[in-house]
Amino acid sequence: MRVAVLFGGTSAERDVSIASGAQVVKALREAGHDVIAVDTATGVLDAQEEKRLLTSGVAPTPPDNSALDMLQGAAPTALMEAREFQQIDVVFLALHGGTGENGTLQALLDLSGIPYIGSGLLGSAVAMDKDIAKRLLLVASVPTAPWLMAPVTADDVAEKIGWPAIVKPNKQGSTVGLTIVRAPDELTAAIELAFAHDDEVMVEKFIPGRELTVPILGDEALPVGEIIVDREVFDYETKYQAGMAQEIFPADLSGQETIEVQRLALQAHRALKLGGYSRVDFRMDAEGNFWCLEANTLPGMTAASLFPKGAAAAGISFPELCDRICRLALEEHQNKRRV
């Protein structure tokens, strides 16, 4: 296959996306595919640019807004018209956050008729909007923590959610702009921080407990993983800096617990109309109840990412995983054309 790997972009998760792109490009070439590397902020990369960008790694903090603003203004529509795209079989989206994951790019690819991996326009948009996603999860009987949308007062939080609470941007990933708020006097600053990353802010009940994740490939739940960190949340730094988190696949759960959280993950995947592959994250409280945190439509594919580790626990190598994701995309594209 001839595969275009799209990564980078201009969201706060740009560094993570570049790291994912580096892994995917390498794996697809190992699997025998013809691959072109594309930074959606700057265009198709030549060999020298590819080597420089794809070895840059993930910094301990996301890039600031000024650095991202300098990359704005790229025209994704021009990418689709580039000569290199004329013979593409499938697009591998190694983008995270922003227009690469919220359905915007998916809509453009749909209009272009180019097959691409992952969820379509609707599923991507719904999963990115945590408020809408949580509403659909409740309708599908997938438990999720109670929440409010800003503006909210400390009295609202105390009455309807309780302390501590999680304050986060409504449409961001990788815990960018997220704060645990323990007392009323911390609420305003946390909301201001979240608003710096999004135009909508969610205030959600904090669920203490074990952090679990379920990779979904096609319509199959892969082995459940558990993330163990010294901090109360699996934040940006612990996610992408080596040695800061312990990730166990399969998680130390009973057979019944494993079946239940995998069932809920598949239920969430279907309720949000996701496709191809996804990763659904949960908290397991002290009473053994599972609470869905969110669904990731384009899970990280870096060396430290959870989805490849879950696949490895199922006996799927990383090159094979990338190949299977591409073939799922082609299969789903053909099914849409038959309708």
Of 266 and 302, the one with more pLDDT: 266
Q: Is 174 a catalytic residue?
A: yes
Q: What is the pLDDT of residues 90-139, one digit of tens each?
A: 999 999 888 888 999 999 999 888 899 999 999 999 999 999 999 999 99
Q: Which of 51-60, 173-182, 281-290 has the highest mean pLDDT?
A: 281-290
pLDDT of residue 75: 46
Among 216, 237, 239, residue whose Cα is nearest residue 227: 239
Q: Is 13 a catalytic residue?
A: yes
d(CA 222, CA 112): 32
The catalytic residue among 300, 305, 310, 323 is 300
The catalytic residue among 279, 305, 310, 323 is 279
pLDDT of residue 93: 95
d(CA 124, CA 328): 17
Q: Is 310 a catalytic residue?
A: no
pLDDT of residue 231: 63
Among 122, 280, 272, residue whose Cα is nearest residue 216: 280
Task: Tell me the CATH number of domain 2-118+319-326, given options 3.30.460.20, 3.40.50.300, 3.40.50.20, 3.40.50.720.
Answer: 3.40.50.20
Mean pLDDT of the chain: 88
pLDDT of residue 243: 61
pTM of the model: 0.87
Residue 169 clears pLDDT 60, i.e. is over it:
yes
The catalytic residue among 11, 240, 277, 283 is 240
Task: Provide φ and ψ at 209, rounded to 5°.
Answer: 145, -160
Asked whether 257 and 246 are in contact (CB, 8 A), the reply is: no
| Homologous superfamily of the 128-143+208-317 domain (CATH) | ATP-grasp fold, B domain (3.30.470.20)
d(CA 104, CA 1): 25
Q: Is 300 a catalytic residue?
A: yes
- Please name the residues in contact with 216: beta carbons below 8 A apart, sequence gap of 6 or more: 222, 265, 266, 269, 274, 277, 278, 279, 280
DSSP-derived letter for residue 248 is E
d(CA 35, CA 38): 10
Q: Tell me the DSSP string of 105-148.
A: HHHHHHHHT--BSS--HHHHHHHHSHHHHHHHHHHTT-----EE
- Mean pLDDT across the stretch 33-58? 79
The catalytic residue among 296, 305, 310, 323 is 296
Among 112, 108, 27, 119, residue whose Cα is nearest residue 74: 108
231 — alpha (psi -120 to 50), left (phi > 0) or beta? Answer: beta
- Mean pLDDT across the stretch 9-36? 89
Token pair, residue 277, equals 């592959």
Q: What percent of the chain has pLDDT over 90?
A: 65
Res. 246 pLDDT band, cuts 50 70 90:
confident
pLDDT of residue 66: 60
Q: Convert 1-16 to b/e letters by CB count within 10 Å (16 or more is b).
A: bebbbbbbbbbbbbbb
Residue 149 clears pLDDT 70, i.e. is over it:
yes
Q: What is the pLDDT of residues 216-239, one digit of tens each?
A: 999 999 999 999 877 666 555 555
Residue 29 clears pLDDT 90, i.e. is over it:
yes
pLDDT of residue 302: 79
pLDDT of residue 299: 92
d(CA 339, CA 176): 39
Q: Is 287 a catalytic residue?
A: no
Asked whether 302 and 58 are in contact (CB, 8 A), the reply is: yes
pLDDT of residue 136: 98
The catalytic residue among 174, 211, 275, 332 is 174
Domain ranges within the chain, ordered by starting residue: 2-118+319-326, 128-143+208-317, 147-205
Give the three-state DSSP class for 185.
helix
* Topology annotation, domain 147-205: Dna Ligase; domain 1 (3.30.1490)
The catalytic residue among 9, 11, 13, 170 is 13
